Chain A
Amino acid sequence: SQQGEEDPQALSIQEGENATMNCSYKTSINNLQWYRQNSGRGLVHLILIRSNEREKHSGRLRVTLDTSKKSSSLLITASRAADTASYFCATVTYTGNQFYFGTGTSLTVIP
């Protein structure tokens, strides 16, 4: 399956610390996206990074993509309690016609 695998499965940090989560996938991609899901809510799109890009920033979020290693990472700097959520990567295959979510990382930020 193309479904991405994320690690760690769960991460617990203190407020103010940085959180890094990783996503690995299996086949060539067109783009990779990161989403956040708060408990009991739908997913919220965070960042989209295309296969020809290596790094993108949005506020306290930094996403990197290494297509040679078929992996991506999401860094959240200066974490806040409100960042507590599950984070999912999602890959779009090179042909653009298939879409898969990763297994997710559950982040807990302790105030």
Chain B
Amino acid sequence: SAVISQKPSRDICQRGTSLTIQCQVDSQVTMMFWYRQQPGQSLTLIATANQGSEATYESGFVIDKFPISRPNLTFSTLTVSNMSPEDSSIYLCSVLGLADNNEQFFGPGTRLTVL
């Protein structure tokens, strides 16, 4: 299994500011993802964080709003830029395990509130 930590665990931010969320995995993994979980909603994939190249964004998400870095196989950051109250959500880092079943592991999440 993979153990994932995220920082910060929660934050309250002002409209118009930016927040960078860090994700650290205890082992090298190929696939890392960032998800958003809005209140009462299912998880929505924001992007796949690619090591050494630009992230792959899902429809509705753009790099200017959610820049992602992945400098190595154990670490990634997601920045939520120019925040508005609609960005209030839980942001989750996720990785795929190396076993054949491709089990997916999730970090504890970062609870973001934008005022």
- A and B are interacting partners: no
